[in-house]
Chains A and B, each alone.
Chain A
Amino acid sequence: MHELAICQALLRQVMEVAEERGTQRIGRITLRIGPLSGIEPELLKTAFPLVAAGTPSEGASIAIEDSPVRVRCQNCGSTSQTFTNRLLCGDCDSWRVKLVSGYEMLLVSVEFLDTQAVNRWERADV
């Protein structure tokens, strides 16, 4: 399960961005993960709270955009959607194709919460 290692790398990147912004709390982290990245989105979601505990990312939600496996044929030029273990052209069945999407493991965006607003709200809640 390398998702734990991926989560640690993700957390370091989010912290980097948070430091640049001087932000204390992260709301939502959006990722794009294709099935050919080798990452299981559900495992990633399970592992994230373990590494995020005690950091500004604690409690952040993880949103995952999927990315369908698409190939462009070098034979006939057409682009088609296919399966991870069948990277063939949907039109002419050739395996001489280029992967267009489905391999991504991207940190797409980080949503920061207004720290002061959160603090005001938390004081009011006590």
Chain B
Amino acid sequence: MCESCGCSGGIDHFHVSGSIVRPAASGEVKVMRSLLRENGHQAAHNRAHFDAVHVLAINLMSSPGAGKTSLLEATIRALGARLSIAVIEGDLETENDARRIRAAGAPAVQITTGNACHLDASMVHAALHQVDLSSIDVLFIENVGNLVCPAAFDLGQHHNVVLLSVTEGDDKPEKYPVMFRAADLMAITKVDLMTAVDDFDPALAKRHLRELANAAPVLELSARSGMGLGSWIDWIIDEAASRRRFRTAHHGTAHG
């Protein structure tokens, strides 16, 4: 701390004979770059990896406990031999989710983030070294359960899927606009609990999403009962197929 005036001693405070002056600035340089430029570069690099081997990459985000891991377990079982899946799991402390994914029949790489509240593109890149991308069709990245921080970081995914469970309230898109604006698909989960939760209105949740100028499809499903899972599985199959069409269209050119 500066002893002259008790200020934090920053460079703005230079004391001459009791007055505060500031040395003339030698100049200001315009930069105009994204604060997350570095992450953006790494994300583009990840995406190029996925595209080179025609893997569909999906970033799964939600609050803690909205059912990301349960949805993945049900997805792995439902897709069976039709599509080959791998999962990158972001978790603060445990390997519990990765164990559940492996038990469901898909390879899983755990990123234990410690105190980090989100995944970033370089964490995903490091985890990719443990994934055999050439042997899979779809890579799910299960982000840290958090409706705020993960929204800011591009991981190189093709799509963001945001889950909203019926026990959370239908106004979540209104409360977390940054996250829900980023959704390429919103999945309303645990709809088997709707009878017990009488104040969740899926139409209202959808309206809140539209009020973020987001035209993303909205699916209602339950990983536990299997209700609505068909549309979700169809969406994944369609998206994975479009990646393969991408391969046919671009083979030998941009990604050859």
Chain A residues engaging chain B, CB cutoff 8 angstroms: 1-2, 5-6, 9-10, 12-13, 17, 21, 23, 25-28, 31, 36-39, 49, 59-61, 71, 84-88, 95-99, 105-115, 117-118, 121, 124-125
Counting chain B CB atoms within 10 Å of each CB, which of A13, A71, A99, A124 scores highest? A13
- A117 — which chain B residues lie within 8 A by C-beta? 23-24, 26
B33 in the interface (beta carbon within 8 A): yes
A57–B185 alpha-carbon span in the complex (Å): 41
Task: Please give the distance in Å from A37's CB to the nearest CB on chain B.
Answer: 7
- A96 — which chain B residues lie within 8 A by C-beta? 213, 215
B14 in the interface (beta carbon within 8 A): yes
Contact B213 A95 (CB under 8 A): yes
Residue from A12, A105, A111, A125 in contact with B25 in the complex, judged by beta carbons closer than 8 Å: A111
- A61 — which chain B residues lie within 8 A by C-beta? 10-12
Contact A112 B31 (CB under 8 A): no
- B27 — which chain A residues lie within 8 A by C-beta? 111-112
A-B pairs with lowest CB-CB distance, top 5: A114-B26, A2-B149, A59-B10, A87-B213, A38-B178
Query: Could you write out 6 A-B pairs with CB less than 8 Å apart?
Result: A37-B152, A38-B149, A59-B9, A98-B213, A113-B26, A117-B23
Task: Please give the distance in Å from A121's CB to the nearest CB on chain B.
Answer: 6
Task: Please give the distance in Å from A63's CB to the nearest CB on chain B.
Answer: 11
If A95-B210, A109-B28, A114-B25 touch, does A13 touch B35 (CB 8 Å cutoff)?
yes
If A38-B149, A108-B30, A108-B32 touch, does A13 touch B25 (CB 8 Å cutoff)?
no
If A87-B213, A117-B23, A125-B16 touch, does A110 touch B29 (CB 8 Å cutoff)?
yes
A105–B24 alpha-carbon span in the complex (Å): 28
Contact B11 A112 (CB under 8 A): no
Task: Please give the distance in Å from B216's CB to the nearest CB on chain A.
Answer: 12
Residue from B9, B148, B175 in contact with A38 in the complex, judged by beta carbons closer than 8 Å: B148
